[in-house]
Amino acid sequence: MNTVYMDNNATTRVAPEVVEVMLPYFSDLYGNPSSMHTFGGQVGHAVDEARGKIASLLGAGPDELIFTSCGTESDSTAILSALQSSPGKRHIVTTRVEHPAVKNLCENLDKLTGHKHKVTQLPVNSDGTLDLNLYEESLSDETAIVSAMWANNETGVIFPIKEMAEIAKSRGILFHTDAVQAVGKIPINLSQVPIDFLSLSGHKLHAPKGIGVLYVRKGTPFVPFIIGGHQEHGRRGGTENVASIVGLGKACEMAAKQMQDENTRVKGLRDKLEDGLLASIPSSLLNGHKTLRLPNTTNISFEFVEGEAILLHLDRFGICASSGSACTSGSLEPSHVMRAMGVPFTAAHGSIRLSLSVYNTEAEVDFVLEKLPPVIAQLRAMSPFWQGEHKGKTGSSQCKCSCS
């Protein structure tokens, strides 16, 4: 059975070209980049070269990049650094739809730092967008850092990071963005956007898992998270994950070249898929803003059916997708993103995310368009709530608790 992989926001295939440039660093070129000898030194050069390629994708300076082990480490490092470098300030502004890497960290800071922190989690509109006025009002002299994701992993919705960063800068507040989903998919030019910290993760852009980068703007105060040797100019101890760094360099170089393709052909495929599903399946709703969105992501709710059941049926056809339903998350409630957007409960449990990459083909889109509608129809025929005549109206049942 062929795998139709449409879960690229979860992780991506490592590009064959990336694997190829990595291989020598597992065999012949095993030197330590910090060594004095030429044998290690050549490896150091490879790391420098990769750093340059990554910097150029971001419009950053090579010295502004710190290699980390993953996006999560980058997020933790940035936020904890900001709190330590402005010890008098105990307020953080973030959003309700952040990835757990930021959300759970912010919610558990008290335990980590031993200090009480005030965390403002900004709400989002029903289309997942952010209200800039609310954002501006939330900032105060107490605010140490703003952490807002560039693009949402579940819906693909893009936040106005440039405007947000400018506002923070004008108030002297540090600004971090989790750009794990944005890097490689949409153009980013940090010479134009005054952010202080940016996180990215290799495995979301066809590099391997286990490599991340934290961008720290020149001049931004920085306190290391992992302390040890002098690697990364003492900003992150630990011998470099050389092969992965080289791979990430290649992946960034390729992403720059493929940016056009991603935003035209892949976007076209996504649109075909999305429009096709919305048209052929009644009572289906798009989650997230129609245009302020990553080119590869679509998140659709099918009312009156449950996401895990949909995924398992798709799995039978080799189609890989994911869901914001309660059952798939291992919790009993739909994802925090769906809840923050106020997606009706009739629909939140049946949300499916399909996320494409440059490797997807039109034939694959057609295959999903053929297989998915009957799955929904089959599950609905079994659903006690499905009347066959809902005409896209949503039910009125809501969460009764006061948590959301």
Partner 1 sequence: MWEYTDKVRDHFMNPRNVGEIENADGIGEVGSLACGDALKLFFKLDDAGRIADAKFKTFGCASAIASSSALTEMIKGMPLEEAEKVTNEDIAEYLGGLPKEKMHCSVMGREALEAAIAYYRGIPLPMAEGEVVCECFGVTDIEVRRAIAESNLRSVEEITNFTKAGGGCGKCHERLEELLREARHEVQQIIPDKRPTRLTNIQKIKLIEEVLGREVRPTLRKDGGDIELVDVDGDFVIVSLRGACGSCKKSQTTLKEYVEKKLREQVLDTLIVEEGK
> Could you list the active site residues?
327
Binding span for partner 1 by CB under 8 A among 128-136, 173-181, 226-234, 310-318: 310-318
Residue 181 site contact among ligand PLP, partner 1, none (CB < 5 to 8 Å, cut-off depends on kind): ligand PLP
CB of 81 to ligand PLP, least distance (A): 17
Binding span for partner 1 by CB under 8 A among 7-15, 28-36, 162-170, 326-334: 326-334
Query: Under rule CB under 8 A, which residues in 232-261 are in contact with partner 1?
Result: none
Residue 71 site contact among partner 1, ligand PLP, none (CB < 5 to 8 Å, cut-off depends on kind): ligand PLP
Which of 98, 253, 306, 364 touches partner 1 (CB under 8 A)?
306
Which of 222, 253, 345, 351 touches partner 1 (CB under 8 A)?
345
Q: Which residue is nearest to ligand PLP (CB)?
A: 71
Could you tell me how many residues of this chain bind ligand PLP (CB under 6 A)?
13
- Report the Cα 331 to chain-centroid distance in Å: 21
Residue 306 site contact among partner 1, ligand PLP, none (CB < 5 to 8 Å, cut-off depends on kind): partner 1
Residue 201 engages ligand PLP in binding (rule: CB under 6 A): yes
| 154/303 with CB nearer ligand PLP | 154
Residue 172 site contact among partner 1, ligand PLP, none (CB < 5 to 8 Å, cut-off depends on kind): none
- CB proximity list for 303: less than 8 A, separation 6 or greater: 283, 284, 285, 346, 347, 350, 390, 394, 395
- CB proximity list for 213: less than 8 A, separation 6 or greater: 54, 65, 66, 67, 68, 74, 199, 200, 202, 248
Residue 263 site contact among partner 1, ligand PLP, none (CB < 5 to 8 Å, cut-off depends on kind): none
CA distance 33 to 47: 8
Which of 22, 143, 147, 178 touches ligand PLP (CB under 6 A)?
178
CB of 179 to ligand PLP, least distance (A): 8
Alpha-carbon Rg for the chain in angstroms: 22
CB of 9 to ligand PLP, least distance (A): 6
Residue 393 engages partner 1 in binding (rule: CB under 8 A): no
| 31/334 with CB nearer partner 1 | 334
Residue 400 engages partner 1 in binding (rule: CB under 8 A): yes
* Backbone phi and psi for residue 337, each to the nearest 5 degrees, phi listed first: -70, -45
Give the angle 309-11-331 at the CA atoms, nearest 5°: 40
| 114/384 with CB nearer partner 1 | 384
Q: Which residues form the interface with ligand PLP (CB under 6 A)?
A: 70-72, 99, 101, 149, 153, 178, 180-181, 201, 203, 212
Q: Which residues form the interface with partner 1 (CB under 8 A)?
A: 304-309, 312-313, 316, 325-328, 330-334, 345-346, 349, 381-386, 395, 397-404
